[in-house]
Amino acid sequence: MSSDYETVCYGKGVVSRKAGEGSFVSLKKLEYREDLAEFFLHMHAYEFAKQFAQGNRILDVGCGNGYGASELSLVADEVTGIDFWKQGVNYCHNNRVGVSALVASGTNLPFVDNSFDLVVSSQVIEHINVKQVVLYLNDIKRVLRSKGVFVVATPNSLLRLLPFQKPWDPDHKKEYNAKELKSLLRSVFGNSEITGVLATKSAYFTEYRRVKQSPVRVYLVDALAPLLLKLLPDNLLGKAKALYEKRYAENKKELERQSSDTCKFSLADFKESQLNLRSAITLYGVCKKT
């Protein structure tokens, strides 16, 4: 398989993805505490959405491998998931009981108007081109029934990014802060509120270390690297590479020391709050169609 693809094994099967496709959340082995924190942070969005799901018809836009749609199916009447990641949809279709899944675009939903009581879209909006975001939101609004609810979850840019820094994740087109997200959602739905996700100290700083880059790296190393590659002689580049590989090995060893076996994170470590949104890990938008 091409090096452009990543793969993960589950049981007797294998799921692959290329850049920009899906998520291995719930499929990959939780080896390190960062993996564990990320897993429960993703699951928390669906636990939050459950309060609107009881006995309802639900659409999960960007369902990936279906881990969240499966959780919603425990309380919903009917759950449908859509994603453009074919292997994720196939996995969902074959392994997630109570979930119907199909390959489709989040900006061109294949459903008639007023089809769902609840639409959930977690960790998706940041992947959508800015010019298409309003199209994505309007199509979600179209398939919602009157008084239906839309729940969106997205990383908080103020936690992840430094001033003037662009998203370091190459798959993210734009990351939002609470003010930007609220303004965007209200431009389409009107009735919209923002809630943030905070965590216990250990879980919070585990995620913080995973997503926050140092000013030295952002403003100096990344900015000057292309120039240095052109100017530095080969022997100095070799030394710099060796130093980087040494630091990488040390960091990997430290991560292995902090394995998930020594960590007891759970959903209880994450909680939603409308206070201190600047420090939130994730932002939830809740919109109601009038």
288 has a pLDDT exceeding 70: yes
* Contacts (Cβ under 8 Å, ≥6 apart) of 45: 68, 120, 122, 123, 151, 153, 282, 284
Any idea which of 107-121, 152-166, 262-276 has the lowest mean pLDDT?
262-276
Confidence of residue 235 (pLDDT cuts 50, 70, 90): confident
CB 185 within 8 A of CB 192: yes
Task: Report the mean per-residue pLDDT for the chain.
Answer: 87
| Mean of pLDDT values over 229-249 | 70
63 has a pLDDT exceeding 50: yes
95 has a pLDDT exceeding 80: yes
Domain boundaries, the chain: 19-212+262-288
Confidence of residue 221 (pLDDT cuts 50, 70, 90): confident
28 has a pLDDT exceeding 60: yes
Neighbour tally for 174: CB within 10 Å: 17
251 has a pLDDT exceeding 70: no
**CA geometry: angle at 129 spanning 28 and 84, to 5°?**
45
Any idea which of 32-36, 62-66, 159-163, 199-203 has the lowest mean pLDDT?
32-36
pLDDT at residue 9 in the model: 55
| Cα end-to-end span (Å), the chain | 48
pLDDT at residue 242 in the model: 73
pLDDT at residue 110 in the model: 97
168 has a pLDDT exceeding 60: yes
Any idea which of 32-36, 60-64, 162-166 has the lowest mean pLDDT?
32-36
Confidence of residue 20 (pLDDT cuts 50, 70, 90): low
237 has a pLDDT exceeding 70: no
Q: Which residue has the higher pLDDT, 185 or 236?
A: 185
In angstroms, the CA 256 to CA 34 distance is 11
Nearest C-alpha neighbor of 164 from the set 215, 201, 207: 215
CA–CA distances in Å: residue 173 to residues 63, 147, 194, 289:
19, 30, 21, 26
Helix axes 133-143, 178-188, angle to 10 degrees: 50
Segment 98-152, tens digit of pLDDT: 999 999 999 999 999 999 999 999 999 999 999 999 999 999 999 999 999 999 9
In angstroms, the CA 128 to CA 81 distance is 18
5 has a pLDDT exceeding 60: no
Confidence of residue 245 (pLDDT cuts 50, 70, 90): low
Give, in words, the CATH class of 19-212+262-288: alpha beta
Confidence of residue 184 (pLDDT cuts 50, 70, 90): very high
- Proportion of the chain above pLDDT 90, given as a percent: 67
| Residue at token pair 């969005």 | 45
Confidence of residue 3 (pLDDT cuts 50, 70, 90): very low
